[in-house]
Structure 1
Amino acid sequence: MDPTVRKILAFLTQIELPFQLSYFTHDTFLPGLRLQQGVLHIDVDKLLYAGDILHEAAHIAVCEPTERHLLSDDVYKCRSNKSWMKGEEVAAIAWSVAAIQHIGLPISVVLHPDGYKGSSENLIRVFEDNELYGQPLLAAWSMIDSVEEFPNVRTWVRQVSWAEPVVV
């Protein structure tokens, strides 16, 4: 197994984010990855980019806790309340950047050139320049202490629901 994939899977195990090594006989939205009822299924033989594991894991991590079990296939089609989705996508990108830095690998592993609709370079610059991109949501959900503390994460899997009052 690729050493980068091994490090990422060790991290997911450490934070107790649900994943399962699988074998796919069909195409998936991202090669080698599939969400099924809040569990990330990974076919390492079909995986193109190790960093994509973290991005898909981030969808589980930042998801509204009461809806996490609904995450299957296309995260934009399986949710009952889609009004949060754009915010969760931005938070997922910030989460995956914090995760890759925590693991000790370059941001470009997650923000690779073939992802993010051609805006990977811009996103890398945003994070290298410490600009805000998803950090306020991570703070609102008590996943980080403050935007200034990013990329230090307090809790890797969101526990705070929108229905709960949040003190920031």
Structure 2
Amino acid sequence: MDLKESEEVKKVVFFLKEIGIDIIEKELGETFLPGLDLGSNCIYIDYNKLLYPGDILHEAGHLAVTIPAERKLVGTTEISKDWPTQGDEITAILWSYAALHHLDLSPEFVFHPNGYKGNSEWFISNFTTGNYMGLPLLEWMGLCLGNEKAEKEQKMPFPAMQKWIRD
């Protein structure tokens, strides 16, 4: 089956475009994740090489949690050698879980057995039981609210997001 035509991929691509992350189809060479690469506020996808469509959401998470000044440098030699940091990594993982929840996709879509250095089940188990590692950082970025703050402000707590892209 052509991944580009799968309902899950269509749903993800529509969502990402809607929140301001461009999707650009392009032939790619060797990349860290097969069929995916990041550019300035965009994700390059080579559907002929893409193995795990859920990786699109994880990569979108990296763009979403990066400040705008750095987001426009992604994919260039000007981006910090430290990008993404460990904090960026955990918040991108948590962001992708929120996106799964929002799009009503199964956790296995992003947290597939061939990703996350063999820890996919661990992430699924933690997130589905409400153990959200990195939540204080994602909340500090202004993207979501933890239970306490959400209750005070009478808003929905994580995994609901207050906004999808960091300013």
TM-score, L = length of structure 2: 0.85
SS of 2:59's partner is: helix
Separation (CA, whole Å) in 2 of partners of 1:53 and 1:108: 13
Give the equivalent residue in structure 2 for 1:157: 165
Distance 1:95 1:78, change over 3 A: farther
Separation (CA, whole Å) in 2 of partners of 1:86 and 1:147: 24
What displacement does 1:80 show? 2.4
Separation (CA, whole Å) in 1 of partners of 2:40 and 2:160: 28
What displacement does 1:64 show? 2.3
1:65 to 52, 68, 76: 68
Q: Does 2:46 align with 1:38?
A: no
The correspondence of residues 9-48 of structure 1 with structure 2, limited to 5 A, is 9-24=13-28, 26-48=29-51
Give the equivalent residue in structure 2 for 1:112: 112
* Matched-pair identity in %: 41
Separation (CA, whole Å) in 2 of partners of 1:22 and 1:138: 31
TM-score, L = length of structure 1: 0.85
Give the equivalent residue in structure 1 for 2:151: none
On the 8 A contact 1:139/1:147 being kept in 2, the answer is no
Q: Which runs of 4+ in 1 moved over 4 A?
A: none
Q: Does 2:7 align with 1:3?
A: yes
CA RMSD in angstroms, aligned pairs only:
1.9
SS of 1:82's partner is: coil
Count residues in correspondence: 155
Give the equivalent residue in structure 1 for 2:100: 100
Q: Name stretches of at least 5 consecutive residues in structure 2 with no aligned partner.
A: 149-156
Comparing 111-120 with 79-88, greater Cα deviation is found at: 79-88
SS of 1:34's partner is: strand
Separation (CA, whole Å) in 1 of partners of 2:67 and 2:124: 26
Task: Name the amino acid aligned to 1:23.
Answer: E
Comparing 129-138 with 112-121, greater Cα deviation is found at: 129-138
